[in-house]
């Protein structure tokens, strides 16, 4: 018993010692108060936390705050947690934000945690009204400043949990060059007609997990760009939106391969698309897309539940007669059920130059108006097992009820 008591006392002493060593920085200590602009206060709190040799927590309590564009940059000397429990509002007018691409940007650091029950409110309504959605594809310049809510650039071994991204002016979250990065219990919300408001977009990143997350927006709930490797999307509820997409890919020669993607145990409700891989025709990119797996997915009135689209060409910005050079292989769709908004619940349009290899349909039970949906296929011979529609004869594949453009 003496040893047990000594161990307990030592543990309590150690816990108390660690608590003392942890640095807690309330935003109020830096002049940050509700209903005021906290850009400078947060910047100063970050400088102190980043210079600390012990773990730090920056706390933004409940309340409503204003904030302009900000970069929270490392490398830092110890782990940092930013706990946001209030609502932080961006300027409604995009031109008032002094930032290049993201309103709130984290860069070049290890061991970041962004937590809390708070909201990053991009106040995107003004930007939605001014947006010219075709500009990005047509090559025309828009005079509207495009800003995302959150950016994570070269941030490793880190997590986002609990917080909400609301009404971003453009993509909600950009993840670039990150490794071992997790979203868990994250929320994204924007109107269904908000243009280009992808929930989480990533590229050139490895071992990213998106778990137990709710995304309702005006574009892709999750979109995976080039260089995405070892990605897990699990327990995501998507809707409204354009579904969960790998791509678009192949538009540029500088792109990197995509491999090792698992999307599982997700539910999509009233989305334009379900699970999709999309690559550009009439484009120079020659990357490969391999080891992509969609499984245990529920579709609730999804217009296009399952799509491989290697003729992805929004706004008629390319020539579909020139096949995509992106090679797709080892792709599976397993245990997918629910309802389709179009007769063609499965549309597999592959490249005639590099046809798809190793595509599998296993227990795909999707119905349209109470009857099994059909599969339309081109330049692919999938393996079909269990309850799954057999591909109809190759040929011209109809638009499968896609809204135009299917962004």
Q: What six digits make up the tokens of 370?
A: 């109470």
C-alpha distances in angstroms, 146 versus 164, 204, 312? 20, 21, 23
13 burial (CB, 10 Å; 0-12 / 13-18 / 19+) is exposed
Dist CA 301 CA 168 (whole Å): 26
Dist CA 325 CA 328 (whole Å): 10
User: Which residues touch 278 (CB under 8 Å, ≥6 apart)?
Assistant: 245, 246, 247, 248, 249, 307, 309, 310, 312
Question: Active-site residue 242, yes or no?
Answer: yes
Task: Tell me which of 111, 172, 201, 242 is the catalytic residue.
Answer: 242
Q: What share of the chain is helix, strand, coil (3-state, %, to 5)?
A: 15, 45, 40
Dist CA 397 CA 399 (whole Å): 7
Nearest to 342 by CA among 385, 398, 386: 398
The residues carrying an active-site annotation are 242
């Amino acid at each position: 018993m003496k040893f047990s008591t000594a161990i307990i006392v030592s543990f309590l002493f150690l816990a108390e010692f660690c608590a003392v060593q942890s640095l807690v920085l309330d935003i109020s200590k830096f002049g940050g108060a509700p209903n005021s602009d906290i850009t400078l206060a947060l910047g100063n709190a970050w400088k102190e936390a980043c210079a600390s040799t012990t773990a730090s927590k920056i706390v933004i309590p409940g309340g409503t705050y204003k904030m302009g564009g900000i970069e929270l940059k490392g490398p830092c000397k110890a782990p940092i947690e930013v706990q946001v429990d209030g609502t932080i509002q961006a300027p409604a007018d995009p031109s008032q934000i002094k930032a290049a691409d993201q309103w709130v940007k984290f860069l070049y650091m290890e061991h970041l945690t962004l937590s809390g029950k708070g909201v990053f409110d991009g106040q995107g309504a003004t930007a939605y009204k001014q947006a010219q959605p075709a500009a990005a594809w047509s090559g025309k310049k828009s005079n509207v400043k495009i800003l995302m809510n959150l950016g994570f650039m070269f941030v490793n071994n880190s997590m986002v949990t609990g917080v909400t991204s609301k009404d971003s002016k453009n993509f909600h979250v950009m993840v670039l060059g990150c490794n071992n990065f997790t979203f868990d219990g994250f929320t994204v919300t924007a109107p269904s007609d908000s243009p280009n408001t992808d929930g989480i977009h990533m590229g050139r990143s490895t071992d990213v997990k998106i778990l137990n997350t709710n995304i309702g927006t005006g574009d892709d709930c999750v979109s995976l760009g080039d260089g995405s490797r070892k990605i897990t999307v699990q327990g995501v509820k998507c809707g409204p939106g354009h579904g969960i997409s790998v791509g678009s890919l192949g538009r540029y020669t500088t792109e990197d391969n995509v491999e090792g993607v698992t999307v599982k145990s997700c539910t999509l409700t009233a989305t334009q698309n379900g699970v999709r891989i999309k690559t550009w025709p009439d484009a120079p990119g020659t990357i490969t897309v391999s080891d992509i797996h969609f499984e245990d997915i529920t579709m609730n009135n999804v217009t296009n539940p399952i799509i491989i689209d290697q003729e992805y060409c929004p706004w008629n910005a390319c020539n579909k007669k020139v096949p995509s050079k992106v090679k797709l292989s080892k792709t599976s769709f397993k245990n997918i059920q629910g309802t389709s908004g179009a007769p063609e619940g499965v549309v597999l349009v592959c490249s005639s130059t590099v046809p798809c290899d190793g595509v599998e349909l296993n227990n795909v039970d999707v119905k349209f108006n109470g009857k099994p949906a059909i599969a339309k296929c081109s330049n692919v011979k999938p393996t079909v097992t269990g309850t799954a529609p057999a591909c109809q004869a190759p040929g011209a594949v109809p638009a499968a009820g896609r809204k135009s453009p299917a962004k």
